[in-house]
Amino acid sequence: MIHTYPSRLWYVEQYLIPSMLAQGIAQEDVSVYNDTEHLGNLFAFVESLKTLPKTGGTWHLQDDVIICREFKKLTEQYDDGVVCGYCCREFQPLGGAGVVPIAQQWYSFPCIRIPNDMIPGFLLWFKNNHLRAKYNNYTRERKFDDFFFLEYCRIEHNGETALNLAPNLVDHVDYLIGGTLVNKNRQWETTRARYFPDNDLVDELAQKLNR
């Protein structure tokens, strides 16, 4: 599932999805959730989860990434549990690469696998907790979907594990397509992946976009 916003749909349709299909991913295995109601990334994420099946797992991508050469192979290989496919190089990661306590999963919403059977519990927890005083600042800004999912995991799935995957499966290329839509006050121009193996693909994408 690719999570997008109307102003980024062009990139999803013209670049991101074609790059997935070129690796052999079937068109019917790719879904797009477009926030046409302008809910903001937090509430759009919550609404998108309601469309998922109850079994299996879903790889969630944001609309400002580029996938690595072995994306299809690796997403099929690591198709179990919570898997974090992105680690931001600008931030100190919560945990190291490999299997970690679930509270040490990376902030990985540009690319993360979430088991579908976790979704009902998350939706119920979010409904019951997001308006609590301790979360007001996060909810008010209509973002921090990654924070809320991690908080849910810390509280409701304590004792379980997640996989922080290195090399990373995607790089974050919002700076090539107009900059961040959510964090306008971000202090860094880029938030590239810490462990992305295919920087030449980013260079090729930059050339295509310039043309």
Q: What is the pLDDT of residues 153-186, one digit of tens each?
A: 999 999 999 999 999 999 999 999 986 544 445 4
pTM over 0.75: yes
pLDDT at 91: 77
pLDDT at 179: 63
Q: Which two tokens stand for residue 148?
A: 């809320």
Indicate the residue type of 144.
Answer: F
- Residue with the larger pLDDT of the pair 29 and 185: 29
Expressed as residue numbers, the domain containing 181 is: 2-204
82-105: average pLDDT: 92
> Of 164, 162, 173, 174, which Cα lies nearest the Cα of 195?
164
Would residue 87 count as lying in a domain?
Answer: yes
The phi, psi pair for 4, rounded to 5°, reads: -140, 180
pLDDT at 94: 83
Would residue 209 count as lying in a domain?
Answer: no
The alpha-helical segments, DSSP class H, found in 34-178 are 41-49, 71-77, 119-129, 136-140, 145-156
Would residue 84 count as lying in a domain?
Answer: yes
Distance separating alpha carbons of residues 143 and 43, to the nearest angstrom: 8
Would residue 211 count as lying in a domain?
Answer: no
- Provide the number of structural domains found in the chain: 1
**pLDDT tier for residue 198 given thresholds of 50, 70 and 90:** very high
Q: Hey, how many other C-beta atoms are within 10 angstroms of the C-beta on 69?
A: 13
- What mean pLDDT value characterizes the chain? 93
CATH number at residue 13: 3.90.550
Would residue 210 count as lying in a domain?
Answer: no
Would residue 128 count as lying in a domain?
Answer: yes
DSSP H or E run through 101:
strand 98-101
> Of 71, 65, 68, 89, which Cα lies nearest the Cα of 173?
65
